[in-house]
Structure 1
């Protein structure tokens, strides 16, 4: 079934009910545009703010605590621009089993927006049925599990919910145009030499080595940017772990670390702190320390100074196109020498977002390309 709204109008002109279709293919009836929305994840604001602009929090009645904990630099930027956002009620996580249905009902939302990964826990808890009895609709979006398939329909669905269809289409056009700035040059070179890339997911958050991505999300970005993703060959799903011995044996040409500010979740960790306004000198020192781990220390990527780090939260937002551009520059610096992902992020903020652009989303080891 096609994603989007089937304009099934019910009732009088001033009381319109529509049926929308979410990314799971579920048909959901509700009145549009919504007046009160509950965000199952705070990080959904990355998409909603791009559609709502200065009205980003006008219709938000509560949100998950994940933005404050897992992406505190973005949280701080939004609270600085919208002080009321800091006073919004925090709701528990459906996926983690801490969601409080009574609290959700008390907030009187028209709709609860959940990420795809919450679907199993939601089904087990019969959340849709319970909230439905209170007149609260539930819809699912996805920027994480299959972002290059589900981002456009997720943005269109949000555009329909908030009555921002034109803005959603503008953002989608911008996003797809920026993606094409990478994929078109890659497609024009059928015999392109593709370096082998290890995407090292959130190293330093824990002591283990090494989580990575399969053939989706950052793994697919590597492939689209003209590389060969090691995880695509070894992992059956979007996420998984590659043992250090395999990394040493395969000796990747390039290592890309994902990092973020996890002071609240893993204080004192060796993770690479990236995000808006990040201290890039500190991030570089921590990246170079991670490069000394046994899985990488004697490898080609470290010897040739092709070890880089990128903001982890690109994996769960509609801004993956900027990460794709940055990865393309790392993998093929000559082919993409005129591509400036910083300028792309700046344009995204100026055209769509209600907060200013603050660099800090990527860093390279000293002397890297």
Structure 2
């Protein structure tokens, strides 16, 4: 028996390793792998894409609301194939002031993975986490930089012992990004002006547009001239007069699932959303004061996209979508919906049914 226990200890020591990982903030973080009690702050689907659903067997807690409340249909779809999600502890959400360091510590995690914007919100707790020897790894997909996307994915590959899979995901993204940008560069066309708005408040009230983060950064990757670039740093509301004065060539309204039952006029897109319902809501945005005279509306270039098809490796489909809406003549052979489906077929447990992009039919 003593020999057997010694053998197990030796086997474990051979499998276990200590690694120093440079995270997205260039912090040198010492981690003991394999991590067996992780807490996940954000980027749930990228964690899943790299580690596959078995990776959640090593997760003991997460920031629940950002997925279960604000992406409810998406969360329910994944919960149906990962029942463990329902059993995970909720440590609260930093962006809404409900994060609890006590709940996190009670889980005795061996790794806390968070987004860069979450890191800024909970920095005051870091000394306590360091005192308890709980490493914190910071990732970022929000800035929509290929380098940060790739580095975050590589980090997940190291943590989850899926380095080859992480390389495949990065290659999927980079190949398609290079193709988009190469075609635009060769064409040498003037950049069309574009406005993207999160349509969660409906046509009667303006909501967030994007500067250098999220959809604003995706515009840059897709070769567009973002009318909000010099008006908004990350995300904020601009007034209707500014939109009218800019007269964008293309408008994209993003939506998610949450507003389907809470706001009958808000834009909805995503898991289990019917295209007919999404289109019905999209057409109301044409009725805004002054929008009938915008080039985007007059030329029937008002489109829609799934809001959560951003800040993730799957958002290469959104780069293609924006590029195709801006330069339709250059991307006749590119199907963003197929790219989104291909990503899920290759790297996700399944492809949820729903509506993710609406282009060319908002008449």
Report the TM-score, using the length of structure 1 for normalisation: 0.88
Q: Provide the secondary structure at the position in 1 that maps to 2:103.
A: helix
Q: Does 1:197 align with 2:194?
A: yes
> CA separation in 2, counterparts of 1:14 and 1:246?
59
> How many residues in Structure 1 have an aligned counterpart in Structure 2?
351
Structure 1 position 364, deviation (Å)? 3.9
Report the TM-score, using the length of structure 2 for normalisation: 0.90
Q: Provide the secondary structure at the position in 1 that maps to 2:268.
A: coil
Aligned to 1:262: 258
Contact 2:302 2:362 in 1 (8 A): no
Q: Please, which runs of 5 or more residues in structure 2 have no aligned partner?
A: 1-12
Aligned to 1:5: none
Alignment of 1:87-166 (within 5 A): 87-123=87-123, 125=124, 127-166=125-164
Aligned to 1:323: 318
Aligned to 1:215: 212
Contact 1:63 1:91 in 2 (8 A): yes
Structure 1 position 21, deviation (Å)? 1.1
> CA separation in 1, counterparts of 2:217 and 2:114?
23
> CA separation in 2, counterparts of 1:86 and 1:297?
46
Structure with more helix by fraction: 2
Alignment of 1:276-355 (within 5 A): 276-355=271-350
Structure 1 position 346, deviation (Å)? 1.8
Contact 1:211 1:239 in 2 (8 A): yes
Q: Is 138-147 or 150-159 further displaced after alignment?
A: 138-147
Q: 1:101 to 1:38 in 2, by over 3 A?
A: same
Q: Provide the secondary structure at the position in 2 that maps to 1:55.
A: helix
Aligned to 2:52: 53
Q: 1:205 to 1:33 in 2, by over 3 A?
A: farther
Structure 1 position 207, deviation (Å)? 5.8
> CA separation in 2, counterparts of 1:149 and 1:212?
24
> CA separation in 2, counterparts of 1:289 and 1:234?
25
Structure 1 position 203, deviation (Å)? 4.4
Aligned to 2:20: 19
Q: Does 1:72 align with 2:72?
A: yes
Contact 2:20 2:30 in 1 (8 A): yes
Q: Please, which runs of 5 or more residues in structure 1 have no aligned partner?
A: 1-11
Aligned to 1:179: 177
Contact 2:144 2:217 in 1 (8 A): no
Q: 1:230 to 1:162 in 2, by over 3 A?
A: same
Report the RMSD for the aligned CA atoms in angstroms: 2.2
Q: Provide the secondary structure at the position in 2 that maps to 1:314.
A: coil
Contact 1:95 1:118 in 2 (8 A): yes
Aligned to 1:37: 38
Structure 1 position 134, deviation (Å)? 2.5
Q: 1:14 to 1:216 in 2, by over 3 A?
A: closer
Aligned to 1:244: 240
Contact 2:204 2:288 in 1 (8 A): no
Structure 1 position 148, deviation (Å)? 3.2
Structure 1 position 280, deviation (Å)? 1.1
